Structure 1
Amino acid sequence: MKSTTLLSLAWAAQSAYSLSIHERDEPSTLQFNFERRQIADRSRRKRSTASADLVNLATNLGYTMNLTLGTPGQKVSVTLDTGSSDLWVNGANSSACPCTDYGSYNSSESSTYTFVNDDFSIEYVDGSEATGDYVNDTLKFSNVTLTNFQFAVAYDGDSEEGVLGIGYASDEASDSSYGGGEYTNFPEALVDQGVINWPAYSLWLDDLDEGKGTILFGGVNTAKYYGSLQTLPIVSIEDMYIEFAVNLTAVHLEKNGNSVSVNNSATQFPIPAVLDSGTALTYIPTSAAASIYDAVGATYMSEYGYGVIECSVKDDNFTFLFDFGSFNMSVDISEMILETSSDMTDMNICTFGLSVIEDEALLGDTFLRSAYVVYDLGNNEISLAKANFDPGEDHVLEIGTGSDAVPKATGATETTAPAATSTGSGDKSDKESSATVPRSQIASLVAGVVVGVFLVL
């Protein structure tokens, strides 16, 4: 998600059609497998004003995949990101290189390269950026080839690894974007070149311990979720669809099945919540986060932009409930507690996967791992179901066009809990939040570890 986000503007929910899902002998779908590994944490840069990052592996983990560009092919590794819309990679002579671990692209070594323009420019909140050219060339992955595909080549920037952005074309980083000058990006190119029939895809990240996942373009895999998909309209910005945001109506916490008080009243729910695979953590308003931090014993480190928590809390029976109006999605606290450096883990200190932001929400990987998510760019809808971490044989259905309702696509049967629980509307109030996220006794311990690491460096 670029720093030029317009989420603070007025939001209006609009939806015209529902996703239709069809049984086919040979569905027109494309599946990518990817893995979670260390990356440059771009989304934290976009969102945070912290001047430095705690030495922390957990917040710098993302989901990466391999592509081949040009003729002959040049291999690159990119981060999968539903919160942006461009594929960009580093040029061989980029200021961010040598890009030994992730690869780079050299246009002079490709016989199918053509120059488009020099309009590529993306800037993050902390001032880091990537700039360069848009080009056309051949893109290969799995058994699929896209010809004359437009992507960006960065020659100046701060990250060794590029990004595969699969959002709306209206959110492209081109200087001429936001309502004019958009080009055919990756999801649209898959449709235009006959790989899939509709610009939609489903995302399954598996659980935290597995460190892998799949994205299925043009289809859903009912083996990988429980119950039925619940469909929400994507909210628009001034009649434009820019980001994958839906209305979040409240956040609740339970322990041993009993409700724990969360201050939802100080936040004006519903608020827009962006589902962003390029962000490691989940961010909610401070007023709601403060009571959650207090209940689970977490400490918010404002100087670093996220919280820490005792690793042993992952064994406590806490469950987060994210309300979306008529249903909610549950996330076990074990998916919200991330190991950091080995020194801190040995001291029973982990990263808390829930952080704070004002006036909106950002549902990153710590939320998405517990959900099966269908992003329907054609109908401007998001569909959600509870992820199945132990799927059996794949059952892939093709996403088509039409007005059939999403809930007809029923997934696996779960014996312990339903996929989605009915709930009432979230609490609403005009009151301003005066809450602050608490700091516990482990804050000084964390600070001591950080100082020690910096001294070693």
Structure 2
Amino acid sequence: MHFSPAFILSSLPFLVAAMPTPQTQTGITIPLAKRSSAFRADGTVDRTALRASIKSSVTKIQRGFATYERNTGAAHPLAKAVKPIQKRATQGGITLTDDAQELWYGTISVGTPAKKFTVDFDTGSSDLFLPGPSCRSSCSSHAVYSPNTSSTAKDRGQTFSLSYGDGSTVSGEQYTDTVAIAGLTATGQALGVAATYSTGFQSSQFPADGLMGMAFKSISDYNANPFFQTLIANNAVSESAFSFKLSQSGAQLYLGGADTSQYTGDFTFVPVDQEGYWQVTMDGASVKSKQVVGGRSAIIDTGTTLIVGDSQSIASAYSSISSAQDNGDGTYSIDCSASPDITLTFSGQEFSIDPSTFILANGDGTCIGGLSYDDRIASEFWIVGDVFLQNVYTHFDVGNGQVGFAKLA
């Protein structure tokens, strides 16, 4: 399926096979900045924030399952694989928070006349929200979107409320307006105008003004097309796909295809099993070429810091790493000098996780491994986040319902 321009966000390497690689360069490259609450300014991991981020990822996925059922009238196939969320739940003395753990953010413009905002691009959710004029102290230092000053804004006559694991919320009114990125324009885009930002979205924790979800309509709290699907409906992109490169330097988002300068070889494509999340089948995980975890679903999420799975399969993976020790809080300690040689396999192709992205320094001479667990998750799926995605170029193909991974250039 073909439409018009494109947009680029790069920070993932994935290999391609099975289907032809996009060759025509018709998109626009948008640089991304990174902020992770799980890391300190010196690059060492904040273990308290890391534990909270694991819980936050699972809570976000669970919230999407509930939204999916509300929008479609049917339970999401993976919903039974997650235990119910308990408000104010704790583990190891750590209260769940809505801290936005992994941020890959860039600039958009909204309204007429257009005003610029920064947003976190998140493939693990589907809605766009920004702080509104009635959002007081928790929105301070963020750019505020005022629908009354935009001639193209329309009130949808509906509210929204996004709840998080600690019982806090982002809530407000729903509108539609013109939203553009680097000349790609979505008209009539649904967005939330927040009257309340909880503490995790204060500027000290969340430097972007708002969040733009890039999954599917079925998990939209507004039950409306996400931004990229609106671009497709507006014939604004030449190809109904977008791609991410999520490296520490030169991170980009590409809307409308793939940036051929950012990857080598062909893509390995994996079909989306269930539209909602970018949910695909992972063949398994290996350590030193030995498979330690078998096939299961994988949700590809740019908004998750680590790889999160069930405790049993994560224990199986670490059993082949001699220095690994379970910390009892969802994380494992690992020797800082280890070279675990971990790979994830999709559509028969193995993709390596470099030790530099897998081994996270605590700053005290100890290190944490990039595989983590949450006891609310059963064995049916993993959440595959930044620890893996920094190692591949990732192509999210909306039109053909598939994800492609390629080697980074």
Distance 2:113 2:32 in 1: 23
For 2:71, the equivalent position in structure 1 comes to none
Q: Which residue of 2 aligns with 1:36?
A: 34
TM-score, with length taken from structure 1: 0.65
* Aligned 8 A contact 2:158 2:174 in 1: yes
Which stretches in structure 2 are left out of the alignment for 5+ residues?
Answer: 1-17, 39-51, 60-88, 203-208
| Cα pair 2:102 2:302 within 8 Å, conserved | no
CA distance in 1, matches of 2:402, 2:253: 17
What SS class does the counterpart of residue 315 from structure 2 fall into?
Answer: helix
Whole-Å Cα distance in 2 between the matches of residues 189 and 42 of structure 1?
A: 30
Residue 371 in structure 1 maps to residue 392 in structure 2? yes
Indicate which of 270, 284, 287 corresponds to 2:312.
287
Cα deviations by residue, 1:402-455 (Å, 9 ceiling, x for unpaired): xxxxxxxxxxxxxxxxxxxxxxxxxxxxxxxxxxxxxxxxxxxxxxxxxxxxxx
Partner residue of 2:238?
A: 197
CA distance in 2, matches of 1:19, 1:195: 24
Contact 2:244 2:254 (8 Å CA) reproduced: yes
- Aligned to 1:71, what secondary structure does the other structure show? coil
- AA of the residue aligned to 1:249: D
Q: Match for 2:153 among 113, 128, 132?
A: 113
> Matches of 1:98 and 1:306 in 2, distance apart?
32
1: CA distance between counterparts of 2:126 and 2:19? Answer: 22
With over 3 angstroms needed to count, the CA separation of the structure-2 counterparts of 1:330 and 1:112, relative to structure 1, is same
User: Is structure 2 residue 276 aligned with structure 1 residue 242?
Assistant: yes
Instruction: Give me the whole-angstrom Cα distance separating, in 2, the residues matched to 1:32 and 1:44.
Output: 30
SS in 1 for 2:341: strand
- Asked if the contact 1:91/1:104 (under 8 Å) is kept, the reply is yes
User: Quick one: distance in 2 between partners of 1:108 and 1:42?
Assistant: 36
Q: CA 1:365/1:373 → structure 2, altered by over 3 Å: closer, same or farther? A: same
Give the Å deviation of 1:110: 2.8
Aligned residues of 2:54 and 2:372 also touching (Cα < 8 A) = no
- Inter-CA distance 59–168: structure 2 relative to 1 (3 Å threshold): closer
The residue aligned with 1:297 is: 323
1:299, distance to aligned residue in structure 2 (A): 3.9
Counterpart of 1:166, as a letter, is: M
Q: Which residue of 2 aligns with 1:154?
A: 194
Distance 2:340 2:54 in 1: 27
CA–CA distance in 2 between the matches of 1:36 and 1:212? 10
Q: Which residue of 1 aligns with 2:144?
A: 104
Aligned to 1:64: 105
Deviations 1:281-340 (A, max 9, x none): 11133223224435153444444x434444x33xx332111122522211122111234x
Q: 1: distance between equivalents of 2:326 and 2:116? A: 40
**1:75–1:104 Cα contact (<8 Å) kept:** no
In structure 2, the CA distance between the partners of 1:96 and 1:377, relative to structure 1 (3 Å rule), is farther
- Which residue is equivalent to 2:341? 319
| Aligned equivalents of 1:91, 1:325: Cα separation in 2 | 44
Equivalent residue, structure 1, for 2:369? 352
Deviation at 1:123, TM superposition (A): 2.3
Partner SS for 2:152? coil
Task: From the superposition, tell whether residues 196 and 82 of structure 1 become closer, same or farther in structure 2 (CA, over 3 Å).
Answer: same
Deviation at 1:166, TM superposition (A): 0.9
Change (3 A) 1:350 1:68: farther
Contact 1:70/1:138 (<8 A) preserved? yes
Could you tell me how far apart the structure 1 residues matched to 2:55 and 2:140 are?
21
In structure 1, distance between residues paired with 2:332 and 2:144: 34
The answer to whether 1:128 aligns with 2:176 is no
Percentage identity across paired residues of the two chains: 24
The answer (yes or no) to whether the contact 1:31–1:216 under 8 Å persists in 2 is: yes
Closer, same or farther in 2 for the Cα pair 1:351/1:95, shift >3 Å? farther
Confirm whether residue 229 of structure 1 aligns to residue 270 of structure 2. Answer: no
C-alpha spacing 1:190/1:30, structure 2 compared with 1 (3 Å): farther
Shift in alpha-carbon separation, 1:288–1:385, aligned structure 2, 3 A? same
Structure 1 residue 187: deviation in Å? 0.9
Q: Which letter maps to 2:27?
A: T
Deviation at 1:106, TM superposition (A): 2.1
User: Contact between 1:90 and 1:97, CA under 8 Å: does it hold in 2?
Assistant: no
Query: For the Cα contact (< 8 Å) 2:285–2:291, is it kept in 1?
Result: no
1:384 & 1:198 partners in 2: Cα distance?
Answer: 17
2:216, 2:54 → 1: CA distance? 17
How many Å apart are 1:20 and its aligned residue?
A: 5.8
Task: Identify which of structures 1 and 2 has the higher relative contact order when contacts are C-alpha pairs closer than 8 Å and 6+ apart.
Answer: 2
Q: Give the letter for the 1:366 counterpart.
A: V
Cα separation, 1, equivalents of 2:54 and 2:210? 13
The count of residues paired between Structure 1 and Structure 2 equals 334
Distance change in 2, residues 1:351/1:76 (3 Å): farther
Is the aligned partner of 1:93 residue 2:118?
Answer: no
Q: Does 1:187 align with 2:231?
A: no
- The answer as to 2:93 corresponding to 1:76 is no
Structure 1 pair 387–271 and aligned structure 2 pair: CA distance change class (3 A): same
- Corresponding residue for residue 85 of structure 2: none
Structure 1 segments unaligned to the other structure (5+ residues)? 1-17, 178-182, 389-457
- In 2, distance between residues paired with 1:42 and 1:114? 35
1:337 is matched with: 359
What is the TM-score of this pair, normalised by structure 2? 0.73
How has the CA–CA distance of structure 1 residues 23 and 363 changed in structure 2, closer, same or farther, with 3 Å as cutoff?
Answer: closer
